[in-house]
Structure 1
């Protein structure tokens, strides 16, 4: 089956082709025809296989782009709101369909102005309820989507969702997507859906046992420092860093390039020819680090990727499985490393449960630890280096003015300066802090709608090397030395 079989509006189909989509995923195959026929629908599917396209493509194909808000998508978190909005914009831009993203923590005025210009609103429950109850906006959408319904209920948003629906028109097409179907979800579906069709996609992919999976808990502002520190420490031969949005890809590529890494990026706005050149460079070793979005990395098949980094945690288990499956191929082992903020710990535990694999929490190595580790590598590399005739001539020349010990000290200093580890000594949270946060997250499950969002920063107590579980060193130099310069 191909996307052209759905007979989508011409401009929507053109956007699908431009995005590189050819064959629909299982949830898209089942959901898109039902939505196009006008049915309400409840879909149970682990996301990451294209849920946004499963509801976005058909409803946008039916929109008139008449200047009114025709579609409303409700999601649990601001991060998901941004991702969904970004993807819907890509699908609708050729049709003149604009999106507006609505979530807390941003000025009301700007969001209201964007809503007035939008065809589709992607919103979190709290801010959307505030806008509706205060009378700042009135909505009359033809299409309403409740995405990640179980996660919203798990976060305690049931009352807000019910209240939001009292402000929406009764004549509408409503779609609900949920990874699980507890009683509360089924009851909610009975209240807001009209004779719904059901779609159920079973999980078909599990994680590779050869992939070792770790996560590190850091504050939001520490992500860049933590990523660089871990790349320095793990020293991957070839790695992929996954981001949520294309602007994040561009920013990280610039940041890592400035740090001296050989890095390239891949996202949906790149032309096909540029994409092919970039992937070829990665496969052939011209680039060591590849920064990509989930959509851009579809079909990326490189057998010698040693590490996968999740700069941000994926929104769902299927996305996580897809991402880390880029390593550990061809019978080789691999490492998957995820950066997690304190308020994302419950999500990482849910992913761990869904994929049926143990994700080991670790502590970001200190600057001194990485420096010491690099020095061990440097000593080993020096001992293995073959002496050349040019090197002998250089030492003879230097001996005219310096003794041999001074020459050795000067050369060693020069090499060490090139391999100095920069940045803060301590990044991220310690093991005891993480354990306490996990305990709190599990205790507050179901009613912690945003409490402790800033995370816990108690007295930092780091354990010794035995708790750090070092892995993945293979004796290659890192930045500004050897292959990275």
Structure 2
């Protein structure tokens, strides 16, 4: 029993079929008397709510207060609160004219009423909108329906061509001084002295070529002189050697005492001989002394030629040198051994004094480094000109680190033992700080001239030369674009050069193709015209479009050739044996090695005995006298055919070469440019022929014939197709015999 009366906890009613039959709660006796707790009045039965799929449980509703009953009247039992009736939606002002249908509200689920009410609102809005007149409906633009195709876009706005305002190269290299290759100027208009003009006229030079007309004013004293270094890029045969030797010879013509003033560095001994020949022609009649330093001359002989020693009276310095020599002998560490040895041969109180024996030194880089490091008294403190010819090859190979050694000797301080009085006094005052300071050295600035047909643009390599205020001079054709537009290396070929390429199948009969070329093109005879007219010449452009088919074309051309050389003897007339003694043409044939040059010379002599008297071979192993004698014979015309390795392709200037043959394909575009540049020099015409095998055809046509880095002045490489039957006509057996003889000779040499 609860302490506060007989109130009972409300118990939810059980499910009943009808509201009238629901059980009522019975009153319980209260401990406080018969008075009963107030009970809410019975609620009127309400309409049954629609059944819910979740059962008949109803939400609890609070009861309403009622008037308490009399004490004697039994209290009515408490009834279960009636279920809450669903709320009717509030009527809005605009919806007041539409009365809801009670029956429809009862039948429609509550969750659908919101959707239906929105639909009714939209329907009413559509009905309330006034209808537009037909004129306004027709005035509206028609809607264009499109498929999934892309929408049409406006025309693109053309963008201006990209013109970079920057360059990875410095201004002096990216913006060169361009000179047209066709430019010609008389020497007397360039300020050349009359004596040298007459001397040049005697050798057949009346006008300066393009590179000479640009370089001479920059090296000669005057208002056009450039007080800095000069880099020159000009094709082979353009007269670069004369361009730098002529100003040097003019400046030194009045000198009576030899002082080493100019050093010319070239990569090969052949180029040393060639530059020496030009220098001798220019310096004839003057007291200028020329000297060379190459590897095939005894080192001691060159030392005596380059440095002259004489005794000078200087007791104080002589005592100092003797004391230093005594200490060195005591410790066993001898410095400047050559100086000590020379000191012992002099009279008392005398010291050795070293003077230069030459004014102009032409040398190779390796031998120059040896003289700098080992020749006592060989100093470069009086150098005014440093010329580096064929700079691309020298910088790429860098013999014995020659550039570093040379720059240190040029710009470094003179060793103390070899200082003159002025240098020694300047150093003493600088160290002691006493006495008035002497004026700086009056040594003139060293002018460096860097030349090449394929100028190197690697700043790392050019930086090793320590150039000062450099300028770049580029010789090009009129129709070419300026060199500044290209950042990579580019090569120029003479416009008077004509190039040909001959497919030679797999190359096992290449000597026969070479012989056919010599007989029918270089030393052409009367019946050789028929063979040349029969050859099928095609432009290099057409051939390069299908470079992979070139080897197949050469193979197809040999399908009709007879397998037996005897059959072809009855079909065609033999070629008349030529006599090349009267021919003015001269041909230079390049191979990839000295061994190939020797073997090819042997084969050609056996296949065509009439060529043996006029054929010679030049390799780097030849001595200086042999090379000089051979080049002189080739220049005079007593030798018509010269076979050489790649070493001879650099800078050789031999007048009268009409044909160049690449028997072995060059390894790079640079090598190709230097090979074919031996002909068509100084405005003369020339031809270059290349024998191409099937494995080399694709690279040759794409890189050399059609490459963008070689400019030919609008010309192309022509392909010449020869039938194999005509090439090996009446020579197959002779060729096989020559190969067997060569094999025996090689085997005998190896044994």
Please name the residue that 1:101 is paired with.
292
1:246–1:374: structure 2 CA closer, same or farther, 3 Å change rule? farther
1:126 aligns with 2:126: no
Provide Cα deviations, 1:124-154, integer angstroms capped at 9, x if missing partner.
2222122112243123222111222221121
The answer to whether residue 230 in structure 2 is matched with residue 41 in structure 1 is: yes
| Residue of structure 1 equivalent to 2:675 | 320
Tell me: CA distance 1:241–1:20, structure 2 relative to 1, closer, same or farther (3 Å): farther
Conserved? CA contact 2:265–2:365, under 8 Å: yes
Count of aligned pairs: 328
Structure 1: distance between partners of 2:368 and 2:687: 45
Aligned partner of residue 205 in structure 2, secondary structure = coil
Query: Separation in 2 of the partners of 1:427 and 1:53?
Result: 48
Structure 1 residue 15, shift from structure 2 partner: 3.6
Equivalences for 1:48-197 in 2 at 5 Å? 48-63=237-252, 64-66=254-256, 67-116=258-307, 117-136=357-376, 137-139=378-380, 140-157=382-399, 159-168=401-410, 171=444, 172-178=446-452, 179-180=454-455, 181-189=457-465, 191=466, 193-197=467-471
Question: Quick one: distance in 2 between partners of 1:350 and 1:123?
Answer: 32
More helix by share: 1
Q: Work out the CA distance in 1 between the residues paired with 2:687 and 2:745.
A: 26
Deviation digits for residues 400-426 of structure 1 (CA, Å, limit 9, x no counterpart): xxxxxxxxxxxxxxxxxxxx9799614
User: For residues 334 and 252 of structure 1, do their structure 2 counterparts lie closer, same or farther at Cα, with a shift above 3 Å needed?
Assistant: same
| Alignment pair present for 1:210 and 2:500 | yes
Contact 2:215–2:244 (8 Å) recurs in 1: yes
Report 1 or 2 for greater relative contact order, CA contacts < 8 Å, sequence distance ≥ 6: 1
Match of 1:230 in 2: 604
Shift of residue 199, structure 1, vs aligned partner: 0.8
CA RMSD of aligned residues (A): 5.2
Contact 1:146 1:177 in 2 (8 A): yes
Contact 2:385–2:448 (CA under 8 A) maintained in structure 1: yes
Partner SS, residue 94 of structure 1:
coil
Shift of 1:122: 1.2
1:243 and 1:249 in contact (8 A); partners too: no
| Structure 2: 5+ residue stretches without partners | 1-184, 308-356, 412-442, 477-491, 504-588, 644-650, 692-702, 718-727
SS at match of 2:214: helix
Partner of 1:195, secondary structure, is coil
Give, in whole Å, the separation in 2 of the partners of 1:7 and 1:427: 63
How far apart, CA to CA, are the structure 2 residues paired with 1:252 and 1:94? 25
**Partner deviation per Cα, 1:68-111 (whole Å, 9 max, x = no partner):** 22211122333333322232223223334332221334321111
Change (3 A) 1:317 1:241: farther
Preserved contact between residue 269 and residue 364 of structure 2 (Cα < 8 Å):
yes
1:199 equivalent among 460, 470, 473 = 473
Q: Which residue of 1 aligns with 2:132?
A: none
Q: Quick one: distance in 1 between partners of 2:208 and 2:745?
A: 40
